[in-house]
Structure 1
Amino acid sequence: MTGTIVGYARVSSVGQNEEAQIGILKKNDATKLFIDKASGKSRNKRPRLAEALEWVREGDVLMVTRLDRLARSVKDLHDIAQELDRKNVGLKVTEQSIDTTTPQGRLMFTMLGAIAEFETDLRKERQEEGIALAKAEGRFNGRPVTIDHQAVRKAFDEGMKPAQIAKEFGIARSSVYRALAEK
């Protein structure tokens, strides 16, 4: 492939820094960069990924530093790979030595994608086990199961601001707005 090397970087939150990924992409000759600050669980809510996939043309290569920067599910990885394949665009993953322009690279891509999804599932399972243990030991309160909508409405009608109500009831401000929206 002799087209443009298009780099895509993603960090999960605004507090994280994408500079290391950008440095690796530039070192590997990426000349056009797209950067998202969003969760990788789904392609939704990642506008720069959508732009990158729209921008690439036949002969280009989409480059990421690691597969988990591109997607966290095998389905999303395969959907992206198929979209790139339809456009005759390669995918290179610098830190995992994947290059889908080769048969070996396509095999490695599929295997590592499955492993990444497996790791995500294990992490979720461990988190759920930890929460269950904390609940059993009385150390986990979680959020309120129900919100007293009438009490929230009364506090609002008496002049309390949503932020004050949220603090008073120990709920998120968005929950206050939802309670107020219900009749």
Structure 2
Amino acid sequence: MTKIGYARVSTIDQDFELQQQRLRAEGCLIVRAEKVSGASRDGRTELATVIEFLREGDELVVTRLDRLGRDTRDVLNIVHECEQRGACLTILDPHVSTRGEMGHVILTVLGMVAQMERRFIKERQREGIERAKSAGRYTGGKLRVDYQKIRQLSASGIGVTAIAKEIGCSRMQVYRVLNAAGT
């Protein structure tokens, strides 16, 4: 049995080092991490790699359920995929495992709570933006990556992976910028 850890943060300026340390402390021999939104599974290549790597008896470990996803259906699909491979899922905080039937019930409820929390966050964010706009203080979100530099690097023949490393973003972000530019 191999313990495989998965860490995720939503934005480039966040750090997943604490998650990785905790996963290693829990005995995870392999820890994969990515900086991408948990709203859906789109662009979550590390998660896909981890699930594909799972074998009979393995255990996928995450620090919290919202690191796995914020959509109940996605979380339940991930649990199902793990089980199809003969593996189980363990969440460290609160400690829940799919090894027993009760774990499935708790994961379903926690998944619904994570999804509801995401809706509340988006609602509060929308309200804050509206208040800032009405007060004349809203200037839009900060630009996280330099779109122009991505386009320049691509035009000079540099590959997507190298661009992502240079800029400090995901390959998916590079693809989005290049697709938006029609490159």
How many residues are matched?
145
Among 69, 77, 80, the residue aligned to 1:82: 80
**Displacement after TM superposition at 1:79 (Å):** 1.2
- Opposite residue 27 of structure 1, the aligned amino acid is A
Q: Structure 2 length normalisation: TM-score? A: 0.72
Match of 1:169 in 2: none
Greater Rg, structure 1 or structure 2? 1
SS state at 1:43 partner = coil
- Opposite residue 126 of structure 2, the aligned amino acid is E
- CA gap of 1:126–1:13, structure 2 versus 1, over 3 A, is closer
**Displacement after TM superposition at 1:139 (Å):** 3.3
Q: Structure 1 length normalisation: TM-score? A: 0.72
1:129-159, Cα deviation, whole Å (9 max, x unpaired):
222223333433559xxxxxxxxxxxxxxxx
SS state at 1:20 partner = helix
1:61-86, Cα deviation, whole Å (9 max, x unpaired):
10000111111111110111111121
Among 8, 11, 18, the residue aligned to 2:9: 11
Among 32, 55, 60, the residue aligned to 1:62: 60
Match of 1:115 in 2: 113
Match of 1:133 in 2: 131
Cα distance between partner residues in 1 of 2:15 and 2:129: 29
Cα distance between partner residues in 2 of 1:102 and 1:125: 35
Cα distance between partner residues in 1 of 2:17 and 2:84: 31
Cα distance between partner residues in 2 of 1:17 and 1:116: 20
- Opposite residue 7 of structure 1, the aligned amino acid is G
- Opposite residue 58 of structure 1, the aligned amino acid is E
Among 13, 30, 39, the residue aligned to 1:32: 30
- CA gap of 1:60–1:134, structure 2 versus 1, over 3 A, is same
Whether 2:55 is the aligned partner of 1:52: answer no
- Opposite residue 52 of structure 2, the aligned amino acid is E
The sequence identity of aligned pairs, in percent, is 39
- Opposite residue 64 of structure 1, the aligned amino acid is V
Cα distance between partner residues in 1 of 2:3 and 2:136: 53
Cα distance between partner residues in 1 of 2:18 and 2:139: 38
- Unpaired runs of at least 5, structure 2: 142-176
- Opposite residue 125 of structure 2, the aligned amino acid is Q
